Amino acid sequence: MHNYAHNTVGDWGIIRASENASFWNPYHPLLLLHAGGHGNGNTRYEIHQTGTTNVGMRVCMTGASSGSACGTVDRVDEAVTSDDGVTTRGTARVHGFCGSPGDSGGPTFSYNIGYGLVVAVRDVPFQGCRVYYSGIHGAANNMNVYINCRNARVPQPTACNA
Amino acid sequence: VRDQASFAKLWTATGLELPPEVDFGHKAVMAVGLGESSTCPYEFGSLVPNEDAGTLVLHLKRSYGTCRADFSFRTFVILVDAQELPTLPFSLVLAHEPRRNHEVLELNWDNDLE
């Protein structure tokens, strides 16, 4: 693990991937969309640009544990405190599906626009599930990296937030 | 596992030292590995055998609330009465709460606990 954050700013980190890791190709950044209630699966879902979250938006998530699901943003700029007492500020809250341990770091997106990274899940009786994610721009700035976008109409991936 | 040598192998594989002595004449040991949120760990609930159904149901519980969505590996090592185990082969049903539709897993063992 290189630079990382697990604090009020966010919950993310930079990892080293071996050169021959099959899942990693910075020149062909694609997102895995599992089939489900939201529609068909797509192993080559493209992120054309990044965006900022607003209340009422419909967003989808792909998590390592839960697969893909979609819901509606009901709060932004939300501070979420997990049971270890660590508070992450500036998150967006989504209702409409349940996340699971292992979904952290999963992308949130819709209409080929990337919005953020999953950081926490909430499950309360009679209130239902909530999933919290941090904005992609804040994460990129905090880690001092840029996000690669991919559009099949453009020969090479380009920085989304250049 | 059903003998001390296999148990020692399992025990050290988890990074622990000096496995406790187990009376394998009457006991067996099960190790169930899973993933959980580091801030919302599971607790052991119960282990319920059902000879008629050929199942062993392991109930795990965790509190409701807000959890980091990380995936931390966790292994439950459980000492069981050998005579309470269903006849092999049987299925291990992992039921964990809060319940959701994808949270019951069934593992089929075809011949032995190992």
The answer to whether the Cβ–Cβ distance between B66 and A104 falls below 8 Å is no
The answer to whether the Cβ–Cβ distance between A101 and B69 falls below 8 Å is yes
The distance of B69 to chain A (nearest Cα, Å) reads: 4
Quote ipTM for the complex.
0.78
B100 pLDDT band, cuts 50/70/90, is very low
Q: Could you tell me the sign of the dihedral formed by the alpha carbons of B64, B66, B70, B72, in that order?
A: negative
A45 pLDDT band, cuts 50/70/90, is confident
The answer to whether the Cβ–Cβ distance between A82 and B64 falls below 8 Å is no
Q: Does B41 touch chain A (CB under 8 A)?
A: no
pLDDT at residue number A91: 96
Q: Is the Cβ–Cβ distance between B28 and B80 less than 8 Å?
A: yes
Q: What is the pLDDT averaged over residues A72-92?
A: 92
Task: Enumerate the residues of chain A whose CB falls inside 8 A of the CB of residue B39.
Answer: 82-84, 86
d(CA A134, CA A112): 18
Q: Which of B66, B70, B102 sits opposite A81 (nearest CB)?
A: B66
Q: Which of B84, B4, B1 is nearest to B46 (CA)?
A: B84
The distance of A106 to chain B (nearest Cα, Å) reads: 9
Q: Is the Cβ–Cβ distance between A110 and A70 less than 8 Å?
A: yes
The answer to whether the Cβ–Cβ distance between B66 and A83 falls below 8 Å is yes
Q: Does B67 touch chain A (CB under 8 A)?
A: yes
A161 pLDDT band, cuts 50/70/90, is low
Higher pLDDT, A28 or A129: A129
For the stretch A110-146, pLDDT in tens is: 999 999 999 999 887 777 899 999 999 999 999 998 8
Average pLDDT, chain A: 86
Q: Residue B8 is inside which H or E element, if any?
A: helix B4-13
Parallel, antiparallel, or unpaired for β A107-110 and A158-159?
A: unpaired
